[in-house]
Amino acid sequence: MAMKISELIIHKCHPNAALSLRLPTVGGILLSAFVCFMASALPIVAAGQQPPAVPGVKPGQPAANPPRPNFPTAGQRPAQPPAARPGAKKPERPAPKTLNLMTSDGVMLRTMYFPSDKGKEAVPVILIHEWQGQASPYGGLVKALWDAGCAVVVPELRGHGGSKEQEVAGRKREFDVSRMGKADVMSMITGDLEAVKKFLVEENNAQRLNLNALTLVGIREGAILASHWAVRDLNFPSVGALKQGQDVKAMVLISPERVIKGVGLDETINDRIFVQLPFQIVIGKTSRQASETDRFHKKLEGLKKRMARGDAKDLQYVELPTSLDGPALLNDVPGVIEKVKTFIDTTMIANSGRIPWVARQ
């Protein structure tokens, strides 16, 4: 009953609200009402709008380009932060926002953003939904990561959710998902996710997160998009001391599909840098993706062992006794959201103090 009430709150308050938090508790009702209020009351941030500068803070000098990213090891403990002054009031966490991010080819992406209050130690997470999906099923996971201190971004990719139109040379067209093909999938990677990265660069330079600790979560076909964009990011060259890529530091693949419109997941693990990332793969043992995912996992495991000349480090394979997949696996199987949060916590959040923050241009 609580779940129905929370959904009703969001529908009555703001029928177009994109993030419905499906939490079957009184807290879930309150949080649903809160997110509904934010969706209806907060201003939309226009594409390209510069964030306000942080008073009294000078951005740091960019670091030299390393030969390869320095990936954290799960379980490392960061240096302890200085103790707060007795009686000091903890700053309020910034409220969620609905953003409109413009791609380089004229698509306005409706995007949900949950800012962190951890400043330069905040781990940013991009959650990438499945084909014919949208942001709304992922409220529970978003809340868990936001409560853990992450800055969470959930874009609705072109042709999906609230991102249905493209404007080129003053002319608008509406996407038809049934007619979208490989070129559109590649544009999601090179256009949509790059627009999200551009926004995160602005947040990084305002010292509201550490882009150098970026984590990607991909669901179903979103796992393919996340993996291809990660390879692109990890191989984006720096210019002298100016860091431009090499930001992705961890991957979570949930019910990953093998191929989408001719773009395959397997080809991404031909990249040696990508293979070295920490991975969590979550799958229903009897789901339709189980056989291909098990094969992908074994191939990735073999590559990691070969590169490490020993054990496959930083690879977590979670098989669950269910046929559910995608958002149903996340939301309807107890403990799955907690497993994802724990992986990101031990791999990234616990190491946030060790991952250098770098100013961008």
Tell me, what's the pLDDT at 206?
97
Q: Which helix (H) or strand (E) holds 113?
A: strand 108-114
Nearest to 96 by CA among 156, 32, 158, 48: 32
Tell me, what's the pLDDT at 89?
67
Residue numbers in the chain where pLDDT is lower than 70:
1-91, 240
Q: Where in the chain is the domain with CATH 3.40.50.1820?
A: 44-54+94-353
Tell me, what's the pLDDT at 90?
65
Mean predicted lDDT score pLDDT of the chain: 83
Tell me, what's the pLDDT at 237?
80
Tell me, what's the pLDDT at 47?
44
Listed in sequence order, the residues at least 6 apart from 8 whose beta carbon sits closer than 8 Å to its beta carbon are none
Q: What is the pTM of this model?
A: 0.78
Q: Which fold has domain 44-54+94-353?
A: Rossmann fold (3.40.50)
Tell me, what's the pLDDT at 86?
63
**Residues constituting the chain:** 361
For the chain, the helix, strand and coil percentages under 3-state DSSP, each to the nearest 5: 40, 20, 45
Question: Residue 207 to residues 33, 83, 184, 247, 359: CA-CA distances in angstroms?
Answer: 29, 20, 33, 15, 9
